[in-house]
Chains A and B, each alone.
Chain A
C-alpha cells in the first residue's frame, strides 16, 4: 500500500504557482520522497526527490517539513501542459515505486 496521502484533485490558474501537498507521516529515516507525474497515459515522468532538505530543479521545488511527515511540490508558474496526475511516493533506496491515487492537477486558462 502507498505510504502517502494526497488530495484527489486540485485546480490551478495558468501562470500561478501550483502547490501540491503530500502527507507521509509514517516515513522512516532512510526513505526519500519522490514526485512523479503522468500526463494522460504517458509513462510517469520524474520531477524531483529529496530526503530532508528542500530541493529545487528546473521543473519544480520540493519543500519537506522539518519532521519529514509532509511535503509540498511547487510548480512555480503552472502551464496548461502541467495538467497531469501527480504522484508523491516514499521509497527506500533500491525499492520499487508504489504508486498511490495521486493528485489530479488541472491547470485552467
Chain B
C-alpha cells in the first residue's frame, strides 16, 4: 500500500540558510500534520493543514512556514536556520472524513535535518 513520502530524507545546511521539506500524503488523504523530533526527544506537533487551509498550530517557530497545495502535498519552509533546528521532521497524513472513527495518522519516514 502507498505510504507517506517525504523528501529529502537527509539534508545538511549551514546556520542562517533556508530549507524546504516536502511531504506527499497517502492518496486521497486531505489532512497533513508536521512534527519535529529533536535528539532524544519525543515528536512535537508543529502545524497541520486540512483541504489546503491551516487547521491547527503547535510550537512552530516564526521562522518556519508551511502550506498545503492543491494536490494535497505540503511543504515546510525553514529560514534563518539555527543549530537547534537539527532534528527529524515527520509528516503524517489522514482523512478527515465526517463521522469516521478511523482518524489515525499515518507517518512518513521523516527528513533528518542537520544544521552545521
| B-binding residues in A (CB < 8 A) | 32, 34, 38, 41-46, 49, 51, 87, 93-102
Contacts and interface: CB of A to CB of B under 8 A. Distances in A.
Contacts of B55: 94
B58 A94 contact: no
B104 A34 contact: yes
Interface in B11-69: 33, 35, 42-45, 48, 55-56, 58
Interface of B: 4, 33, 35, 42-45, 48, 55-56, 58, 88, 90, 92, 96, 101, 103-110, 112
25 contacts: A38-B43, A41-B88, A41-B110, A42-B109, A42-B110, A43-B4, A43-B92, A43-B108, A43-B109, A44-B92, A44-B107, A46-B104, A49-B104, A87-B42, A94-B96, A94-B103, A95-B56, A97-B33, A97-B43, A97-B92, A97-B105, A99-B42, A99-B43, A99-B44, A101-B42
A102 B37 CA distance: 14
A75 to B, nearest CB: 18
B93 to A, nearest CB: 11
B42 A96 contact: no
A98 B46 CA distance: 11
Contacts of A46: 104-107
B58 A44 contact: no
Contact of B42 (A32, A95, A100): A100
Contacts of B44: 99
Contact of A43 (B48, B56, B101, B110): B110
Contacts of A45: 107
